[in-house]
Structure 1
Amino acid sequence: MKITVLGVGGMGSRFALMLHQAGNDVTLVDGWQTNIDAIRQDGIQANFNGKAVSAKMPIYSPAEIEKSGVQADLIVVFLKSNQLKTMFDQVKALIHPDTYVLCLLNGIGHEDVLEQYVAKDHLILGITMWTAGMTGPGHVELVGDGEVELQNFAPAGKDFALQVVNVFDKAGLHPKYSENVKYSIWRKACVNGTLNCLCALLDCNIGQFGKTKEAPDMLHTIIAEFAAVAAKEGVKLDQTEVYNHVAATFTANIADHYPSMHQDLVQHHRLTEIDFIDGAVARKGEKYDIPTPYCKLLTQLVHAKEQLIGAK
């Protein structure tokens, strides 16, 4: 399958590398020129569960796509949510009538943007529980195990979605076809709406946060706000199950992992996706007249920290 990975950070590098190793025709697109230069010179360099792995794949900046002639059967999106529209405006040449887009971004509501570029029956939504971290341009740390859950947005897209499941399975990405991916997206948003922003604000990894006595109460309160808003969107979250799912990470093999928002904000001084996670819940809470004080405060604190450190 001809696959373009859009956004070659930690997670994009993981998927690109594993899909490439499985024999797929993988092309990379990234907006960070230093990263592009490093990958062009040496390929993606990965510590893959303790083993040094490298692989070269063609990589382009968004501005180079139109002249490149590259087109894709599948575009796998690993951008930051606030980059989504700008990037797709730049890479329209990738898309032909048979192109499908798989969105694996953290957060809520990305389909509203993507429908401007591909038909609903060519849109696949999903989540991933894999982890990855960048240690420098072109260099990534890939540890632990994970999975992918996905579902076609419209019924007509199911056959291709099942093809994607097959391709991902051969690449060892542990895919699962979902019958209710919207629930899973909200459930994953709860993971990000707790661990991502709290680890970034407290400057700690998942396991360190889990050892604090305040962790259980904070998790319960934030998850309750997510659940109240999700119910208005037709998704009934099992709060106990979601809490147990998040809390299980405290002692899992990813306990030493620093979530992506920590990587962005603390490690690299980049703007975050908070407006598409806790910020989205706070905005929707105002719309539905549902109090979401924790989500609102966390969003404000993250934005304040962005300003204090000059995040870009």
Structure 2
Amino acid sequence: MKYAVVGAGAMGLRYGLLLQENAGVEVDFVEPTKASLDAIHAQGDVVYRSVDHQDRTAIPVKAYSPEEYTGQPDVWIFFMKQMQLADTLTRLAPKFQPGQTALGAMNGMGHLEKFQQYFDDDHIIGGTAMIATILNDFGDVDFIGGTGSVYANMTEKPSEVMDQVQADFTKAELNPSYSENLLGTLLTKVAFNSVENSVHTMFQARVGETMAYPNYIEGVAKPMLDEAYAATKAAGIELLETEDEMLDKIVRLSTGAFAQHFPSMYQDFVKGRETEVDYINGYFTALADKHGVPAPTQKLVTNLVHLAEAMREFNPPKNKLAPAEQ
């Protein structure tokens, strides 16, 4: 199968490079951000890949703007920020062909409804990626730790495309698994991110550093997850993990594989960009409101992240992603 990865940021580059290098399949990168595309071209149409901050290697890629792209991929893999997706889909709309599939393993919620404007439900795949990756700069990515991912068809039924995607992703060492619970799959990751991404962004902390507070799990993580699980239960959505399993995972990753990692929301925050908090914590606030259950902690955290964004004007954050700080 041929893939077009839309968005040459941290996760887009990781997926695309793993598919290209490990699975040996054809991959095109479609980059809507002009500064990023210009940087890749200026480097000689290569991107730089490191693994755990080491072995920085130049890898040739084919990268295009949405307007100049003329490829015919079987699967479009979208790794955009939620707030950028609608515009990117509009720019790409003339390129979409019947029978092509849209796959999104993006952070937060909101993308499925946007995909449905251009693709039928038989050709939409949702997924989640428990993968730590840092974009040092445009066209310069650092793979942190291992990979794990879960995918579900919009129809929640098996398909030949899903079988082929699973096979290619396995060869790419993305360690995929298959689910027939689409919303449960996606919201399990969103619940995790509602704790990890927002808290670490506000306090500009690595994932493992918050564990220095002895009451982090009971006093911070659990109240947020209580509300996320109550909202999904009220909506009739069953997550793939129990709340206790989620809390155990937070402890395990915070003291293990992800301890030195900064989540993607932090990476946006320190670079002066808008965060996706409205599509993560804000999603649970809206879901809870819709079904008549309280979510004051999720609502407060959403507002606190926006407050932290506003305070950058007066207290510019220190970018700990800089090479000297790694």
Change (3 A) 1:276 1:16: same
CA deviation map 1:265-305 (0-9, x unaligned): 12x11101111110011112222221111111111111122
Which of 40, 60, 66 aligns to 2:64? It is 60
Match of 2:258 among 247, 254, 257: 254
- 1:286 is matched with 289
Residue pair 1:5, 1:75 contacting (<8 A) in 2 also: yes
- Partner amino acid, structure 1, of 2:236: G
Compute the TM-score of the two structures, normalised by the length of structure 2: 0.90
Q: Distance in 2 between matches of 1:119 and 1:156?
A: 14
The share of aligned pairs that are identical, in percent, is 29
Residue deviations 1:71-126, cap 9 Å, x none? 22101111011111111011113311011011101113421221111000000011
- Asked whether 1:9 is paired with 2:13, we answer no
CA distance in 2, matches of 1:69, 1:6: 13
Residues 28, 63 of structure 2: 8 Å contact kept: yes
Q: Give the Cα separation in 2 of the matches to 1:129 and 1:221.
A: 22
- Tell me if 1:304 matches 2:304: no
Aligned residue in 2 for 1:167: 168
Residue 103 (str. 1) matches residue 107 (str. 2): no
Runs of 5+ in structure 1 lacking a partner?
Answer: none
For 2:48 and 2:19, how far apart are their aligned partners in 1?
15
Q: Is the 8 A contact 2:208 2:255 kept in 1?
A: yes
C-alpha distance in structure 2 between counterparts of 1:289 and 1:52, whole Å: 51
Amino acid at match of 1:205: R
Q: Which runs of 4+ in 1 moved over 4 A?
A: none
Q: Does 1:277 align with 2:280?
A: yes
Secondary structure of 1:294's aligned partner = helix
Q: Which deviates more, 295-304 or 43-52?
A: 43-52
Aligned partner of 2:221 in structure 1 is 219
- Aligned letter for 1:262? Y
| 1:174-213 equivalences in 2 (<5 Å) | 174-213=175-214
Contact 1:121 1:157 in 2 (8 A): no
**Residues 52-61 or 130-139, more deviating:** 52-61
Offset at 1:54?
Answer: 2.2
Q: Equivalents in 2 of 1:5, 1:175: separation in Å?
A: 17
1:48 maps onto 2:43 in alignment: no
Confirm whether residue 231 of structure 1 aligns to residue 233 of structure 2.
yes
Summarize the Cα distance change of 1:156–1:239 in structure 2 as closer, same or farther, 3 Å threshold. Answer: closer
What per-residue deviation string (whole Å, max 9, x for no partner) do you get for residues 150-175 of structure 1? Answer: 11111566221111000111111111
| Structure 2 gap ranges (5+) | 317-326
Match of 1:98, SS? Answer: coil
Task: Report which of the two has the higher share of helix.
Answer: 1
Partner of 1:277, secondary structure, is helix
What SS is found at the alignment partner of 1:173?
A: coil
Residue type matched to 2:267 in 1?
Answer: Q
Q: CA deviation at 1:34?
A: 2.1
CA contact (8 A) 1:129 1:148 kept: yes
Q: Given that residues 48 and 140 in structure 2 are in contact (C-alpha distance below 8 angstroms), is that contact kept between their aligned partners in structure 1? A: yes
Q: Aligned pair count?
A: 307
Deviation at 1:61, TM superposition (A): 2.2
Q: TM-score, normalised by structure 1?
A: 0.94
3-state secondary structure, aligned to 1:5 = strand
**CA RMSD across the alignment:** 1.6
Q: 1:26 corresponds to which residue?
A: 27
Closer, same or farther: CA 252–94 of 1 in aligned 2, 3 Å: farther
Equivalent residue for 1:114? 115
SS in 1 for 2:135: strand
Write out per-residue CA displacement over residues 135-189 of structure 1, whole angstroms, 9 at most, x where no aligned residue.
Answer: 1121111121011111111156622111100011111111111232432221111
Counterpart amino acid of residue 225 in structure 2? I
Distance 2:32 2:238 in 1: 37
Preserved contact between residue 101 and residue 122 of structure 1 (Cα < 8 Å): yes
User: Which moved further from structure 2: 101-110 or 203-212?
Assistant: 101-110
